[in-house]
Structure 1
Amino acid sequence: MKTLKIGIIDLVCKGPNNTLWAQTMHANLASIMPQVVATWCEQEGCSVTLVSYTGKEDLTKALPDGVDLVFISAFTQAAQFAYALSNFFHSRKAVTVLGGPHARCYPDDAVQYFDYVLGFTTRNIISEILNNCSRQQPVGQFLSAAKQTIELSSVEERWKFIEPTLKKAPLLKFVPMLGSVGCPYTCPFCIDSTVPYQSMNFDLIKTDLQFLLTKFKSPWIAWHDPNFGVRFGEYMNAISEAAPPGSFRFVAESSLSILTEDHLKIFRQNGFKALLPGVESWYELGNKSRASNITGEEKVNRISEHVNMILRYIPYVQTNFVLGLDSDSGADPFELTKRFIDRSPGAFPGYSLLTAFGEAAPLNLEYQKSGRVIPFPFHFLDNHSAMNIKPRNYEWIDFYNKVINLTSYSFSARALYRRFKATPERTPKWMNLMRAISSEGYGRLRFYQKLRQKLTEDKAMRRFFNGESNEIPSFYTSIIKKDLGIWWDWLPKSALHHDVNAFLQKNHACT
């Protein structure tokens, strides 16, 4: 095999972005697998340049001239940006590969624009691509292992790719680590619901942590596990054996069922500074919170007490909710969330709109069978810019009125003040405030208000939302054009559209 010149692009965002939040935090959102693939390619003798795209890099200059092969990692919200980049690099005679969540969710769409599209990725698959580095168009190849690999590169091996990205973060610098893949829970809307849980090698975790102490006095580490701490004792032993208490500062997404008081004492002792548990709904999905048998007001009381107990041990807590589930109807789900905010003022509420990502989860088949999936461009499938499932129990304007009301309540001056007072440490106070006044709080509120206005005034917009038309409203295409900037000209015209029922058709073809 000849020595290949390889570029790897980790799309942290979906286009050029110079907001305060992007400049401060995007470098901390880098993914692990692009770093692993970069390491594997170097070990195969290739020349590798990796760029974690935070919104301010010039990708026409960030990669060296004459690259043979370009790997792009993207979430679905960045898919159209990725498609434009693939078209650009094809024009420069490079072979292109797509990995990341979008490749797993929409493989049949992605193969139209990439030479290779990767599902579960192993070193053998990467070697196969390196040995057969050739264009595959007009339709690319989808390659996937039977399951996710846990044989990943160590932090030390990846460090030459981690360090340049961390230098872009002006304040907090989070090193990404992974302790497990898959999830033991089966939330039907989740991409990990059918992926078997596997933990990484705990000795390697300990070695990785010890290596980071040679680079930082007290490193910040973000665990990318779908559900951290399932094998709680082994995780905590690896951390405590790596270095004395207080040596690390950790952020993790975990379930309320794991966050018992006894566990929280150990979390705090081992340096956990932020936890992101999922509440999801007041009426269903209670397995992760040990609340499967209670709903409504009783669940609010139970969860509020639990979250307040967490806040006595952990200074930063984000509680995650999904809005628009089929079990929701009327004002109650939104009003109950307001009561939770009042009773647990120190928790930052994270809201996601119900979204079906292609073939990511079995429940998506049911949405497609019932004709409820709306063909929003990928650019808006980020869990908040669009809900691509027609709600079962709401009309659209009523639904967005309720979302706006809840968002306004959650980020009102009163709520911000109470959250600020209830948060014990300086960094979490700053994080909560910045998130509220930037795109996540006030920014989403302005977007929802503008969207409601368009739904009220624009008949074509309502027809699209109601599934009566597949014509994408200009409201959305103009946003994509603005967000992509110079890359809009490289976006294939067909890439604005996708088959929302591809998963259903594939399923029928296989049965």
Structure 2
Amino acid sequence: MPPLKIGLIDLVSKGPANTLWAKIMHANLASIMPQVIATWCEQEGHDVTLICYTGYEDLTRELPKDVSLVFISTFTQASLLAYALSNYYRSQGAVTVLGGPHARCYPDDAALYFDYVLGFTSRSTITEILHNCVPHRPVGIQLSAGKQPANFCGVEERWKFIAPTLKKAPFLQIVPMLGSVGCPYTCPFCIDSTVPYQPLDFKTIQSDLRFLRTKYKKPWVAFHDPNFGVRFEENMDAIAAAGPPKSFRFIAESSLSILTEKHLQLLQQNGFIAVLPGIESWYDLGNKSKASHITGMEKVNQVSAHVNTIFRYVPYVQTNFVLGLDSDAGTEPFELTKRFIDQAPNAFPGFSLLTAFGEAAPMNLEYQKQGRVLPFPFHFLNNHLAMNIKPKNYDWVDFYDKVIDVTDYAFSAKALYRRFIHTHGTTTRWMNLMRAISSEGWGRLKFYRQIRQHLVHDRNFRKYFEGETQQLPAFYHEIIKKDLGIWWQWLPANALSHDANAYFHKSMNGHA
């Protein structure tokens, strides 16, 4: 077959970004799979251009030109921009393909706007598209390999696609790597809860780390594993064989159950400078924190002591919480989180609002069966801007009052000062402060207060949250229009709405 001209677009941002956090960090949030697919396509003999959109580029100038096939990878929050780009490229005669988390969460909706929608993607999946590169309209074809690939292209293979993106990061350049896919835990709200855990080749990890030492004096590496360190000894052996102690600076998401003191000693020895454990809830989901049989204040005391132990070995810890779980009721869950902030003052708290991402997790089917999922546009589904599940035990205003209260507590001047003085190292102190005063801390708090005001003073706004109407409030409509900018004109007519209960409807028809 003649070579194709192929474009790949990795959407880190859903529109122009102007925060300090975005400027410094968005280029470091590039996804691995677009780089892998770009490498596979090039190895098949095709002409490939990959861009990572961080929000700081002029997208109209950056987009691949004169292409016949376009792959777009996106999380749900940037999917409306993806839909607009697909519409634009289709008007130019190109075939479009969607991959990434949104394609897995909302495949039926995505198929209305793309020729191909990908679930798990192997090299043979990509080869099939390359050999059958034809439009499929009005409804695209859904393809899935059935499971995650056993092998991905390593860092050295995809370096030509990594390096240009990292050049966009002005100060800190973090290389993305994978040590495993899937997860051994079964948190029912998580997209990886039903994906079998699968370690990748440790020799590849070792060789990639050795390669990075030829590019950087002391490389920064972020493991994108859903849960790093399940095969702990093998991972540490691969790292230790790649260079002398502390040749690297690693960031990883791992569970508290893995972060024993013995393991922490090895992490410190091997250069781990940041870990992101999930606490999730004080009443539920305790398997990842070694606290499956305790709840409430007892769990706060145990977990905060554990986190403080981690800080003896690792200088930066982000603790992740999910707000609005069905196990939560009253003020106590939020007050317990405050007590944790008091007892572990150097930990950066990451708060997520409970969100059902389509077909991503088993629990979503139950929420849809109960009629509790709201049809918020995808633009706001990022765990922060909208909670698309009606809370079980809270009125909406009451819930936002409590979310605002705990967020304000976590990012108050007092909390920032305590976090600053209890944290060691210039980089970690700077990172905490930057995140707190930008969109992640104060910016999010400002947005929550706006939502609360609309809930109180705008009856139609409140009716949308109560599920009494599907008429999107103008507040949200204007945000989407502003963020998309010139791409608003390319957004397909019906893209602002979707079937929030599609997973349930499929299950009733025997397709889930």
The TM-score normalised by the length of structure 2 is 0.99
1:341 match? 341
Cα displacement (A) at 1:91: 1.1
2:413 corresponds in structure 1 to 413
What is the distance in 1 between the residues matched to 2:287 and 2:324? Answer: 19
Map of 2:241 onto structure 1: 241
Query: Cα deviations across residues 308-342 of structure 1 (Å, max 9, x unaligned)?
Result: 00011100000000000000000000000000000
1:9 and 2:9 matched:
yes
Alignment partner of 2:495: what SS?
A: helix
String of CA shifts for 1:89-141, please: whole Å, max 9, x gaps.
Answer: 11111110000000000000000000000000000010110111111111000
Distance 1:204 1:182 in 2: 18
For residues 259-302 of structure 1, what are the alpha-carbon distances to aligned partners after superposition, in whole Å with 9 as ceiling and x for unaligned? 00000000000000000000000000000001000000000000
1:485 and 1:207 map into 2 onto residues whose CA distance is 43
Residue 151 of structure 2 is matched in structure 1 by 151
**Correspondence for 2:92:** 92
- How much has 1:65 moved relative to structure 2? 2.7
Q: Distance in 1 between matches of 2:19 and 2:39?
A: 31
Per the TM alignment, residue 63 of structure 1 is displaced from its structure 2 partner at its CA by 3.3
Q: How far apart are 1:22 and its partner, in Å? A: 1.1
- Distance in 2, matches of 1:19 and 1:355, equals 25
Q: What letter is aligned with 2:160?
A: K
Bigger shift: 146-155 or 341-350? 146-155
1:324 and 2:330 correspond: no
Give the aligned partner of residue 204 of structure 1: 204
Aligned partner of residue 424 in structure 1, secondary structure: coil
Shift of 1:56: 1.9
**Alpha-carbon distance between aligned partners in 1 of 2:423 and 2:150, rounded to the nearest angstrom:** 37
- Distance in 1 between residues matched to 2:485 and 2:210, nearest whole Å: 42
Q: Secondary structure at the match of 1:209?
A: helix
Tell me how far apart the structure 2 counterparts of residues 137 and 211 of structure 1 sit (CA, whole Å). Answer: 44
Q: Kindly state the Cα deviation for residue 60 of structure 1 after the two structures are TM-superposed.
A: 2.4
**Separation in structure 1 between the aligned mates of residue 64 and residue 420 of structure 2, nearest angstrom:** 46
Matched ranges for 1:425-464 at <5 A: 425-464=425-464
Shift in Å, 1:61: 2.2
Q: Which amino acid aligns with 1:186?
A: T
What is the CA–CA distance in structure 1 between the aligned matches of 2:363 and 2:484, rounded to whole Å?
A: 31
Contact in 1 for aligned 2:50/2:64 (Cα 8 Å):
no
Matching of residues 124-135 of structure 1 within 5 Å: 124-135=124-135
CA drift of 1:59 comes to 2.7
* Superposed counterparts of 1:488-507, under 5 Å: 488-507=488-507
Separation of aligned partners in 2, 1:58 and 1:45: 29
Determine helix, strand or coil for the equivalent of 2:49: strand
Tell me the residue number matched to 1:423: 423
Alpha-carbon separation, structure 2, partners of 1:446 and 1:362 = 32
Quote the offset at 1:21 in angstroms. 1.4
Match of 1:168 in 2: 168
Residue 364 of structure 1 aligns to a residue whose secondary structure is helix
Aligned-partner residue type, residue 356 of structure 1? A
Is the Cα contact below 8 Å between 2:374 and 2:388 reproduced in 1? yes
Report the AA paired with residue 131 of structure 2.
Answer: N
User: Aligned residues, how many?
Assistant: 511
SS at match of 2:506: helix
Determine if the alignment matches structure 1 residue 181 to structure 2 residue 190. no
Shift of 1:493: 2.0
Q: What is the alpha-carbon distance in structure 2 between the residues aligned to residue 17 and residue 130 of structure 1?
A: 34
Residue aligned with 2:283, SS? coil
Quote the offset at 1:85 in angstroms.
Answer: 0.6
Deviation at 1:19, TM superposition (A): 2.0
Q: Which amino acid aligns with 2:101?
A: P
Give matches, 1:279-318, under 5 Å.
279-318=279-318
Contact 2:275-2:318 within 8 A present in 1 as well: yes
What residue in structure 2 maps to residue 192 of structure 1?
192
**Does the CA contact (< 8 Å) of 2:180 and 2:200 recur in 1?**
yes
Between the aligned partners of 2:59 and 2:390, the Cα distance in structure 1 is 37
For residues 63 and 28 of structure 2, the distance between their equivalents in structure 1, rounded to whole angstroms, comes to 21
1:287/1:64 Cα in 2 relative to 1: closer, same or farther (>3 Å)? Answer: closer
The residue type paired with residue 8 of structure 2 is I
Alpha-carbon distance between aligned partners in 2 of 1:64 and 1:303, rounded to the nearest angstrom: 48
Q: How does 1:6-85 map to 2 (within 5 A)?
A: 6-85=6-85
- For the structure 1 residues 337 and 157, does the alpha-carbon distance in structure 2 shift closer, same or farther, using more than 3 Å as the test? same
> What CA distance in whole angstroms lies between the structure 2 residues aligned with 1:408 and 1:204?
44
Any idea what SS the aligned residue of 1:156 has?
A: coil
CA distance in 1, matches of 2:258, 2:64: 46
Looking at structure 2, the residues matched to 366 and 53 of structure 1 have their Cα atoms a distance apart, in angstroms, of 35
SS in 2 for 1:52: strand
Question: How far off is 1:184 after superposition?
Answer: 0.2
Give the match for residue 108 of structure 2.
Answer: 108
Match of 2:256 in 1: 256
What secondary structure is seen at the aligned counterpart in 1 of 2:351?
strand
Question: Distance between the aligned counterparts of 1:323 and 1:138, measured in 2?
Answer: 39
**CA–CA distance in 1 between the matches of 2:400 and 2:336?**
17
> Structure 1 counterpart of 2:346, which letter?
G
Aligned partners of 2:444, 2:59: CA distance in 1, in Å? 28
Q: Root-mean-square deviation (CA), in Å?
A: 0.7
Structure-1 separation of matches of 2:282 and 2:64: 51
Following superposition, the deviation at residue 489 of structure 1 comes to 1.0
Structure 1 residue identity aligned to 2:171: L
| 5+ long unaligned stretches in structure 2 | none
Provide the identity percentage: 70
- CA–CA distance in structure 1, aligned partners of residues 491 and 98 of structure 2: 15
Indicate the residue corresponding to 1:402 in structure 2: 402
TM-superposed deviation, 1:382 = 0.3
Give the match for residue 231 of structure 2: 231
SS at structure 2 position matched to 1:495: coil
Q: CA deviation at 1:2?
A: 1.4
Taking the aligned partners of 2:351 and 2:133, their CA distance within structure 1 comes to 42
